[in-house]
């Protein structure tokens, strides 16, 4: 997810600085996508680049501590969900955010929203029926299947011609 955020932010014109403790993975990604500035240490990245905002897309168990650290330094935050793996220190993060007057936002994805999953299923079913209809029309035009076959396909796609 972090890589997607980096690519999207750059496309929107942001000056993107990458940071990941896995320097091998980070270097490969940076080289592949031509990112020039990257760090394996968050404190070095902050000290050298003085960012105004950061995107937290780390493993979930690191979200809260990193958010507190960034908020204490006055850095605005966009964080992937979840906020934390426990309720511990969430109130403290809220306090630090207010004290430092920063903007804090949680990223939200609707990819698995129940309504959208159902809509996707309907679209897929309609697409399959459309493909079957096109195949059936083509077969009828080209006389490649018989009447019984046509009846079976009509039943499958609940369509009459």
Query: What does the pLDDT look like over 71-130, one tens digit per residue?
Result: 999 999 999 988 889 999 999 999 999 999 999 999 877 667 787 778 788 878 877 777
Would you state the structure tokens that stand for residue 152, as one six-digit string?
Answer: 């079976």
The vertex-66 CA angle with 14 and 57, nearest 5°, equals: 50
Given a contact cutoff of 8 angstroms between Cβ atoms, the answer to whether 55 and 78 are in contact is yes
**What sign does the CA torsion over 103, 20, 1, 9 have?**
positive
Q: pLDDT by residue (tens digit) across 148-157?
A: 555 555 665 5
User: What is the value of pTM for the model shown?
Assistant: 0.66
């Amino acid at each position: 997810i972090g890589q997607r955020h980096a690519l999207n932010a750059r496309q929107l014109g942001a000056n993107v600085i990458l940071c990941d403790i896995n320097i091998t993975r980070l270097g490969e990604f940076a080289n592949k996508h031509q990112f020039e500035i990257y760090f394996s240490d968050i404190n070095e990245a902050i000290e050298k680049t003085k960012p105004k905002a950061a995107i937290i897309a780390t493993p979930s168990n690191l979200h809260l501590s990193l958010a507190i650290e960034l908020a204490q330094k006055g850095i605005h935050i966009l964080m992937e969900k979840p906020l934390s793996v426990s309720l511990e220190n969430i109130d403290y993060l809220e306090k630090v955010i207010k004290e430092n007057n920063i903007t804090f936002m949680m990223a939200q994805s609707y990819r698995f929203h129940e309504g959208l999953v159902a809509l996707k299923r309907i679209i897929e079913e309609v697409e399959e029926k459309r493909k079957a209809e096109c195949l059936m029309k083509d077969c009828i035009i080209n006389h490649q299947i018989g009447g019984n076959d046509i009846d079976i396909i009509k039943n499958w796609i609940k369509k009459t011609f």
